[in-house]
Amino acid sequence: MTVGNPGSADKILAGGSVFAGAQSPNPAMGVQVVGNSSGLMAGPTFGMPGIVAGVSVSGCKSNIGKKLLNWFIDAVF
């Protein structure tokens, strides 16, 4: 994700959070945002046109959020 502190990824992804996203008619132009009291992360998306918003509850163990984020950044950029 391009906005936010990657060091906070585990805290943001663990427990409750809110999210929102929007995708334009161009499949390569969209954004997703997720956050809670620990911080905010946001970044680009690729997909079908539309909007989404919601609440989620999840768990993160062994820094998996940070590991996945680092893998994604290395793989894409």
pLDDT digits (tens, 9 = 90+) for 10-39: 788 777 889 999 999 998 899 999 999 988
Residue 55 has pLDDT above 80, yes or no: yes
pLDDT of amino acid 68: 77
Q: What is the reported pTM?
A: 0.66
Q: Which of 61, 65, 75 is nearest to 34 (CA)?
A: 65
pLDDT higher than threshold 90 for residue 60: no
Residue 1 has pLDDT above 60, yes or no: no
Domain boundaries, the chain: 6-76
Q: Contact at 8 Å (CB) between 12 and 6?
A: no
Q: What is the pLDDT of residue 44?
A: 92
